[in-house]
Amino acid sequence: MTKFTMFGKLTAHPGKREELVSLLLEASRNLDDIEGCELYIINESVDDPDVIWITELWRDAGAHADSLKNEDVLAVIQRAKPLIAGVEPVRLRPVGGKGLGV
Amino acid sequence: MTKFTMFGKLTAHPGKREELVSLLLEASRNLDDIEGCELYIINESVDDPDVIWITELWRDAGAHADSLKNEDVLAVIQRAKPLIAGVEPVRLRPVGGKGLGV
Protein backbone atom coordinates (compact mmCIF):
# COMPACT_ATOMS: atom_id res chain seq x y z
CA MET A 1 0.00 0.00 0.00
CA THR A 2 1.71 3.17 -1.19
CA LYS A 3 -1.34 5.44 -1.18
CA PHE A 4 -1.03 8.77 0.53
CA THR A 5 -3.63 10.68 2.50
CA MET A 6 -3.48 14.24 3.69
CA PHE A 7 -5.94 15.95 6.00
CA GLY A 8 -5.58 19.70 5.72
CA LYS A 9 -7.06 21.87 8.45
CA LEU A 10 -7.54 25.40 7.13
CA THR A 11 -8.62 28.18 9.46
CA ALA A 12 -10.13 31.10 7.55
CA HIS A 13 -9.94 34.67 8.73
CA PRO A 14 -13.17 35.45 10.62
CA GLY A 15 -16.12 35.61 8.24
CA LYS A 16 -14.10 34.37 5.25
CA ARG A 17 -14.86 30.64 5.37
CA GLU A 18 -17.69 30.80 2.83
CA GLU A 19 -15.50 32.60 0.31
CA LEU A 20 -12.68 30.11 0.86
CA VAL A 21 -15.04 27.14 0.41
CA SER A 22 -16.34 28.61 -2.87
CA LEU A 23 -12.80 29.01 -4.16
CA LEU A 24 -11.87 25.44 -3.20
CA LEU A 25 -15.05 24.04 -4.78
CA GLU A 26 -14.28 25.89 -7.99
CA ALA A 27 -10.71 24.56 -7.94
CA SER A 28 -11.83 20.99 -7.25
CA ARG A 29 -13.68 20.92 -10.61
CA ASN A 30 -10.28 20.82 -12.32
CA LEU A 31 -9.02 17.87 -10.31
CA ASP A 32 -9.95 15.34 -12.97
CA ASP A 33 -6.96 16.70 -14.87
CA ILE A 34 -4.60 16.15 -11.94
CA GLU A 35 -3.08 12.70 -12.15
CA GLY A 36 -3.30 10.44 -9.12
CA CYS A 37 -5.90 12.41 -7.15
CA GLU A 38 -8.49 9.87 -5.94
CA LEU A 39 -10.38 11.90 -3.31
CA TYR A 40 -10.47 15.61 -2.59
CA ILE A 41 -13.40 16.38 -0.30
CA ILE A 42 -14.02 19.80 1.20
CA ASN A 43 -15.64 19.75 4.65
CA GLU A 44 -16.86 22.52 6.94
CA SER A 45 -16.35 22.07 10.66
CA VAL A 46 -19.65 21.71 12.50
CA ASP A 47 -18.20 23.13 15.72
CA ASP A 48 -15.89 25.94 14.53
CA PRO A 49 -17.34 28.51 12.08
CA ASP A 50 -13.92 29.42 10.63
CA VAL A 51 -12.56 25.90 10.03
CA ILE A 52 -12.43 23.77 6.87
CA TRP A 53 -10.95 20.27 6.71
CA ILE A 54 -9.91 18.84 3.33
CA THR A 55 -9.69 15.07 2.86
CA GLU A 56 -7.19 14.12 0.17
CA LEU A 57 -6.37 10.62 -1.10
CA TRP A 58 -3.57 10.27 -3.65
CA ARG A 59 -2.23 7.29 -5.60
CA ASP A 60 1.09 7.91 -3.84
CA ALA A 61 3.03 10.70 -2.14
CA GLY A 62 4.77 11.56 -5.44
CA ALA A 63 1.46 12.36 -7.15
CA HIS A 64 0.63 14.76 -4.33
CA ALA A 65 4.05 16.42 -4.54
CA ASP A 66 3.73 16.75 -8.33
CA SER A 67 0.33 18.44 -7.99
CA LEU A 68 1.98 21.24 -6.02
CA LYS A 69 4.01 22.08 -9.13
CA ASN A 70 0.88 22.40 -11.31
CA GLU A 71 0.28 26.00 -12.45
CA ASP A 72 -3.48 25.88 -11.88
CA VAL A 73 -2.98 24.52 -8.36
CA LEU A 74 -0.40 27.18 -7.56
CA ALA A 75 -2.76 29.88 -8.85
CA VAL A 76 -5.52 28.67 -6.51
CA ILE A 77 -3.11 28.65 -3.56
CA GLN A 78 -2.17 32.27 -4.34
CA ARG A 79 -5.85 33.30 -4.47
CA ALA A 80 -6.64 31.44 -1.25
CA LYS A 81 -3.75 32.76 0.83
CA PRO A 82 -5.32 36.12 1.79
CA LEU A 83 -8.37 34.27 3.18
CA ILE A 84 -6.40 31.83 5.36
CA ALA A 85 -5.27 32.53 8.92
CA GLY A 86 -3.67 29.13 9.55
CA VAL A 87 -2.90 25.70 8.06
CA GLU A 88 -2.30 22.40 9.86
CA PRO A 89 -1.42 19.52 7.56
CA VAL A 90 -1.76 15.94 8.82
CA ARG A 91 0.21 13.39 6.78
CA LEU A 92 -1.24 9.88 6.78
CA ARG A 93 -0.70 6.37 5.44
CA PRO A 94 -4.06 4.74 4.66
CA VAL A 95 -3.93 1.09 5.71
CA GLY A 96 -7.37 -0.22 4.78
CA GLY A 97 -11.10 -0.02 5.38
CA LYS A 98 -14.16 0.67 3.28
CA GLY A 99 -13.89 2.88 0.19
CA LEU A 100 -10.13 2.98 -0.18
CA GLY A 101 -10.25 1.17 -3.49
CA VAL A 102 -12.16 3.93 -5.29
CA MET B 1 -26.33 17.98 1.07
CA THR B 2 -27.08 16.10 4.28
CA LYS B 3 -24.03 13.84 4.30
CA PHE B 4 -22.01 13.59 7.48
CA THR B 5 -18.27 13.19 7.88
CA MET B 6 -16.37 12.38 11.02
CA PHE B 7 -12.61 12.40 11.42
CA GLY B 8 -11.64 10.43 14.50
CA LYS B 9 -8.17 10.91 15.93
CA LEU B 10 -7.29 7.93 18.10
CA THR B 11 -4.12 7.93 20.18
CA ALA B 12 -3.07 4.41 21.13
CA HIS B 13 -1.20 3.60 24.29
CA PRO B 14 2.54 3.48 23.43
CA GLY B 15 3.34 0.43 21.30
CA LYS B 16 -0.32 -0.52 20.84
CA ARG B 17 -1.09 1.18 17.51
CA GLU B 18 -0.48 -1.92 15.40
CA GLU B 19 -2.85 -3.98 17.53
CA LEU B 20 -5.49 -1.25 17.35
CA VAL B 21 -5.15 -0.97 13.56
CA SER B 22 -5.59 -4.75 13.21
CA LEU B 23 -8.75 -4.65 15.30
CA LEU B 24 -10.18 -1.75 13.26
CA LEU B 25 -9.34 -3.44 9.96
CA GLU B 26 -11.08 -6.61 11.13
CA ALA B 27 -14.11 -4.57 12.18
CA SER B 28 -14.22 -2.65 8.90
CA ARG B 29 -14.87 -5.89 7.01
CA ASN B 30 -18.37 -5.92 8.52
CA LEU B 31 -19.22 -2.41 7.40
CA ASP B 32 -21.03 -3.55 4.30
CA ASP B 33 -23.80 -4.62 6.67
CA ILE B 34 -24.00 -1.18 8.31
CA GLU B 35 -26.48 0.97 6.44
CA GLY B 36 -25.39 4.39 5.25
CA CYS B 37 -21.63 3.96 5.69
CA GLU B 38 -19.98 5.21 2.48
CA LEU B 39 -16.33 5.55 3.56
CA TYR B 40 -14.47 4.20 6.58
CA ILE B 41 -10.75 4.51 5.98
CA ILE B 42 -8.16 3.72 8.63
CA ASN B 43 -4.97 5.84 8.41
CA GLU B 44 -1.73 5.76 10.37
CA SER B 45 -0.09 9.09 11.18
CA VAL B 46 3.22 9.47 9.37
CA ASP B 47 4.58 11.80 12.07
CA ASP B 48 3.26 10.33 15.33
CA PRO B 49 3.82 6.59 15.94
CA ASP B 50 0.85 6.25 18.30
CA VAL B 51 -1.79 8.05 16.23
CA ILE B 52 -4.52 6.72 13.92
CA TRP B 53 -6.98 8.91 12.03
CA ILE B 54 -10.22 7.39 10.77
CA THR B 55 -12.06 9.02 7.84
CA GLU B 56 -15.79 8.32 7.96
CA LEU B 57 -18.42 9.41 5.42
CA TRP B 58 -22.06 8.63 6.19
CA ARG B 59 -25.27 9.10 4.22
CA ASP B 60 -26.41 11.39 7.04
CA ALA B 61 -25.80 12.03 10.73
CA GLY B 62 -28.64 9.68 11.67
CA ALA B 63 -26.96 6.72 9.96
CA HIS B 64 -23.83 7.39 12.00
CA ALA B 65 -25.81 7.65 15.24
CA ASP B 66 -27.68 4.41 14.45
CA SER B 67 -24.39 2.57 13.85
CA LEU B 68 -23.41 3.30 17.45
CA LYS B 69 -26.38 1.20 18.59
CA ASN B 70 -25.27 -1.82 16.51
CA GLU B 71 -24.16 -4.74 18.72
CA ASP B 72 -21.16 -5.64 16.56
CA VAL B 73 -19.96 -2.02 16.58
CA LEU B 74 -20.37 -1.78 20.35
CA ALA B 75 -18.41 -5.02 20.78
CA VAL B 76 -15.50 -3.61 18.75
CA ILE B 77 -15.53 -0.41 20.81
CA GLN B 78 -15.32 -2.48 24.00
CA ARG B 79 -12.36 -4.48 22.64
CA ALA B 80 -10.59 -1.33 21.43
CA LYS B 81 -10.98 0.71 24.63
CA PRO B 82 -8.04 -0.82 26.55
CA LEU B 83 -5.70 0.05 23.64
CA ILE B 84 -6.76 3.71 23.39
CA ALA B 85 -5.24 6.56 25.39
CA GLY B 86 -7.29 9.36 23.81
CA VAL B 87 -9.99 10.21 21.26
CA GLU B 88 -10.59 13.50 19.45
CA PRO B 89 -13.65 13.50 17.21
CA VAL B 90 -13.98 16.16 14.49
CA ARG B 91 -17.55 16.59 13.20
CA LEU B 92 -17.81 17.83 9.61
CA ARG B 93 -20.27 18.76 6.89
CA PRO B 94 -18.91 17.73 3.47
CA VAL B 95 -19.74 20.43 0.95
CA GLY B 96 -18.28 19.09 -2.29
CA GLY B 97 -15.17 18.06 -4.16
CA LYS B 98 -13.94 14.95 -5.91
CA GLY B 99 -15.12 11.52 -4.72
CA LEU B 100 -18.01 12.58 -2.53
CA GLY B 101 -20.54 10.87 -4.75
CA VAL B 102 -19.21 7.35 -4.12
Write down the pLDDT at residue A102: 44
Q: Which residues sit opposite A40 in a β-bridge?
A: A56, B98
pLDDT, tens digit (0-9, with 9 covering 90-100), for B30-78: 787 788 998 899 999 999 999 999 999 999 999 999 999 989 889 999 9
Q: Does the residue A57 lie in any domain?
A: yes
Q: Does the residue A37 lie in any domain?
A: yes
Give residue ranges of A with CB < 8 Å to any B CB: 5, 7, 21, 24-25, 28, 31-32, 37-47, 53-55, 57, 90-100, 102
> Out of A54, A92, A98, whose CB is closest to B46?
A92
List the domain range (segments joined by +) for residue A77.
Answer: 4-92
Q: Does the residue B57 lie in any domain?
A: yes
Q: Is there a contact between B95 and B1 (Cβ–Cβ < 8 Å)?
A: yes
Domain CATH code at residue B83? 3.30.70.100
Q: Does the residue B100 lie in any domain?
A: no
Query: Which residues of B fall within a CB distance of 8 Å from A46?
Result: 91-93
**Interface predicted TM-score (ipTM) over 0.90:** no
Number of folded domains that form chain A: 1
How far is the C-alpha of A17 from the C-alpha of A11, rounded, in Å?
8
How far is the C-alpha of A31 from the C-alpha of A39, rounded, in Å?
9
pLDDT, tens digit (0-9, with 9 covering 90-100), for A10-57: 999 999 999 999 999 988 887 878 889 988 999 999 999 999 999 999
Sign of the four-CA dihedral B40, B17, A51, A74: negative
Question: Which parts of chain B fold into alpha helices (H)?
Answer: 17-28, 61-67, 71-80
More reliable by pLDDT, A102 or B32: B32
